[in-house]
Amino acid sequence: MSSLQRPAPQTQAVSLTLEQVKEALGEVLDAMQSPSGSARLEEARENCGNDLGKVLQLLLPTAVQIQQDVLQNYGFSPDGEGVLRFARLVKSFESQDPEVAAMSNKLKSFFLPPLPLPPHAGHPVPSS
């Protein structure tokens, strides 16, 4: 193996029950709403303004870091990949449990800007 090649990272599958997913989501939400989590997110939001590029550069990584701190306690790797794996696991439970869906939406609201409402179906957008 040359010095430029790295071994593939070891990824272990994490399997959580519905109750464990709810518990982890609750802890992540608590961390986001904690005084330190809220302050970090608010500072990132202020530095972003309405610039989507800055949201991706500043706010999203801050939210990921806060989640990592909690999720490593549930067996996820303490990096972005661990957060993505948890997000996929949560997604798999959203359709089965309305509480998980609501908690997931609340979590997303911390770092995703609200989407504008689509045009009303009765009022088509003029084409150019």
pLDDT band for 124, please (50, 70, 90 cuts).
Answer: low
In a domain, 11, yes or no: no
Question: What pLDDT does 115 receive?
Answer: 60
Q: How many domains is the chain built from?
A: 1
Provide the percentage of residues in the chain whose pLDDT is more than 70.
78
In a domain, 7, yes or no: no
Cite the DSSP H helix spans in 72-97: 80-94
Angstrom distance (rounded) from CA 7 to CA 24: 30
In a domain, 28, yes or no: yes
With beta carbons less than 8 A apart as the criterion, state whether 76 and 55 touch: no
Q: Residue type at 63?
A: A
Q: Which residue has the higher pLDDT, 68 or 6?
A: 68
Question: What pLDDT does 49 receive?
Answer: 85
Q: Give SS3 for 98.
A: helix
In a domain, 13, yes or no: no
Q: Residue type at 50?
A: N
Hey, how many other C-beta atoms are within 10 angstroms of the C-beta on 33?
13
Domain range for 83? 18-110
In a domain, 2, yes or no: no
